[in-house]
């Protein structure tokens, strides 16, 4: 299996990077091929989506071509990011806006909506500082309406899981962090 991990955290270190590295190591031990995109790496930098005419102003760029080739290559996409102000970081939203566009991820035809990224699956790992009960309510919204709803309903990508690690500022010790990384390993081994 080919797995593409997309990280969206501005710090060059931290728990989101530990999640991505743990997922990568687990998958590689199982014989899978893993590639990683760090959205803060200059290689993957994309300007925020801006256009006057969406049909003529949103063409391809070398970065967009590179990213879309990686998406097409992958059987599984894994997004790792924090939740800020009850949403994903702006850089990740921009990643979706630029790369999962009509004509690549889906298209409209006389038959209606056509999903163009079927036979793929997606996982989300998110960190947050809020209480667990808040994300117990929020995760179904993420899975069925916003992130997961878009991936599944528009692109045809099967949502495998959305995992949110909560109260991160109080879980700074190695024991708590290792328990969370065990969850990441278990998700990587689910097929």
DSSP states of 94-161 as a string?
HHHHHHS-BTTTEEEETTEEEESSTT-EEEEEEE-SS-HHHHHHHHHHHHHTSHHHIIIIII--EEEE
> Does 5 score more than 70 pLDDT?
yes
Mean pLDDT of 19-37: 98
CATH number of the structural domain 2-189: 3.40.50.360
> Does 182 score more than 90 pLDDT?
yes
- Residue 54 pLDDT level (bands cut at 50, 70, 90): low
- Residue 184 pLDDT level (bands cut at 50, 70, 90): very high
Q: Per-residue pLDDT tens for 93-148?
A: 999 999 998 899 999 999 999 999 999 999 999 999 988 888 888 878 887 777 88
Helix %, strand %, coil % for the chain, to 5? 45, 25, 30
List phi, psi (to 5°) of 183: -65, -40
pTM of the model: 0.93
Q: Per-residue pLDDT tens for 71-91?
A: 999 999 999 999 998 889 999
- Are 168 and 15 in contact, with CB atoms under 8 Å apart? yes
CA distance 127 to 26: 20
Domain ranges of the chain: 2-189
């Amino acid at each position: 299996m080919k797995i593409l991990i997309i990280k969206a955290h501005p710090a060059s270190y931290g728990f989101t990077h530990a999640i991505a590295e743990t997922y990568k190591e687990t998958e590689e031990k199982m014989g899978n091929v893993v590639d990683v995109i760090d959205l803060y790496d200059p290689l993957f930098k994309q300007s925020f989506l801006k256009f006057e005419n969406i049909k003529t102003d949103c063409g391809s760029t070398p970065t967009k071509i590179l990213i879309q080739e990686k998406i097409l290559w992958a059987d599984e996409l894994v997004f790792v990011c924090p939740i800020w102000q009850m949403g994903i970081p702006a850089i990740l939203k921009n990643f979706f806006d630029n790369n999962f566009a009509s004509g690549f991820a889906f298209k409209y035809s006389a038959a209606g909506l056509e999903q163009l990224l079927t036979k793929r699956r997606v996982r989300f790992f998110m960190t947050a500082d809020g209480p667990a009960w808040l994300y117990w309510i929020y995760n179904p919204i993420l899975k069925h309406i916003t992130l997961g709803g878009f991936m599944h309903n528009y692109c045809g990508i099967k949502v495998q899981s959305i995992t949110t690690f909560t109260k991160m500022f109080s879980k700074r010790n190695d024991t708590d962090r290792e328990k969370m990384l065990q969850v990441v390993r278990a998700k990587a081994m689910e097929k």
